[in-house]
Structure 1
Amino acid sequence: MFSISLGDDNAVLRPLEPWRAAEFLAHMDRGRELIGQHIGLADAVTDLASSRAFLQQYAEKAATDTGRIFGIWVADELVGGVLFRTMDVPRGTAEAGCWLEPSAVGKGLVTRAARVIIDWAVEERGIHRVEWLVSAANHASIAVAKRLGMVKDGVLRESGVHRGERQDLEVWSVLAPEWRSRQAG
């Protein structure tokens, strides 16, 4: 298994695989309230079976090159993650996302981890456009999109449904030439 350092704070990025279902569930239990404010992950992973099924879904996406999921560990404790919810390599598009438990907020972990996976998608997989869809109320995630150099493409009014309520979704993106230019600078 590989592990990529995210800096000097003992943080690493690793694949989040089905055999880590119990660890993923414990992490979700620690962060359920915060994670569930804006995304459905906290509602989807509620017991060991659903945790394993969720991670298995991403293992199958990885096998078919249609998605990926990675965990962020600090001092060997899973505290968050980043993913490609979708990847369409022939079209050159991918949708990235993230989550964190409260202990990891405000440390730049998601921004650093997202940079790693976006760089991989652009440079290794030939992805041309990486999107970041986010609830307009999720200011922390919007701040990450900005730090990643993404551009706000627009708002999909009342396009998302979270916990039975309609929400506006902002679409942010970065194109491969923009990404390469920012990385070089």
Structure 2
Amino acid sequence: MYATSLGDDGAELRPLDPWHAEEFLAHLERGREFINQYVPFGSTATDVPSARAVLQRYADMRAADTGSLHGIWLDGKLVGGVLFLNFDADNANCEVGCWLEPAGTGRGLVTRAMHVLIDWAVDVRGIHRVEWIAASGNEPSLNVARRLGMSRDGVQRERYPHRGVRHDLEIWSVLAPEWRTARARGVHRDR
């Protein structure tokens, strides 16, 4: 389908579809503990059929125009991804998110991939508000929001129960005019 280069380091952004189930499962197995520190993304994918079901759910969301999943490949190996958790074109709002296995960290991959997603959402689909929600302790995720030029809107205290702990959730956002202005000034950073 498509592959968008994320730079000169062999990183690409591609659709992550049900036919990638075996590769997706292998990726999750390599990074499951790391990925699930703050989010249970893919925790139900424990074998090929359940991995395919996770990917099918996002393929169905893409078909319904309510969300989508995009993999990040580094030198031909799936190392993470970015997604639209919620995509509401009628109200011009969306929520984005990400995940990575350890082999993909520290390279700016999520930030670069998120630039592609947000550019598309704002410029092609007319999205006005892009949200990022992360646990307060998830510094790598919060740092991506900062690098993307998002503003911290607030904190929902002890909103998210995960692994026996109630985590505060931080809500960050960027509005389309802010995104365009920052892009024009070249202030978006990869790392």
| TM-score bin (small chain) | over 0.9
Partner of 1:132: 132
Amino acid across the alignment from 2:160: G
Residue 86 of structure 2 contacts residue 96 of structure 2 at CA under 8 Å; is this kept in 1? yes
2:175 alignment counterpart:
175
Moved more, 11-20 or 157-166: 157-166
User: For 1:41, what is the secondary structure of its paired residue?
Assistant: coil
Percent of aligned pairs with the same amino acid: 58
**CA–CA distance in 1 between the matches of 2:143 and 2:100?**
14
1:1-185 aligned within 5 A: 1-185=1-185
Deviation of 1:183 (Å): 0.9
Q: TM-score, normalised by structure 2?
A: 0.95
Name the Cα RMSD after superposition: 0.8
Query: Any idea what the Cα deviations from partners look like across 1:39-91, whole Å, max 9, x if unmatched?
Result: 11142222212211111010011001100110000111000100000101101
Q: What SS does the corresponding residue of 2:43 show, helix, strand or coil?
A: helix
Question: 1:33, CA displacement in angstroms?
Answer: 1.1
Any gaps of 5 or more consecutive residues in structure 2? 186-191
Q: Per-residue deviation at 1:162?
A: 1.4
Q: Deviations over 1:144-172 (max 9, x none)?
A: 00000000000011111213421110000
Structure 1-normalised TM-score? 0.98
- Aligned equivalents of 2:70 and 2:62: distance in 1? 11
Q: How many residues align?
A: 185
Check whether the contact 2:82–2:110 (CA below 8 A) recurs between aligned residues: yes
Counterpart residue type for residue 60 of structure 2? E
Mind listing any 5+ residue stretches in structure 1 that lack a counterpart? none
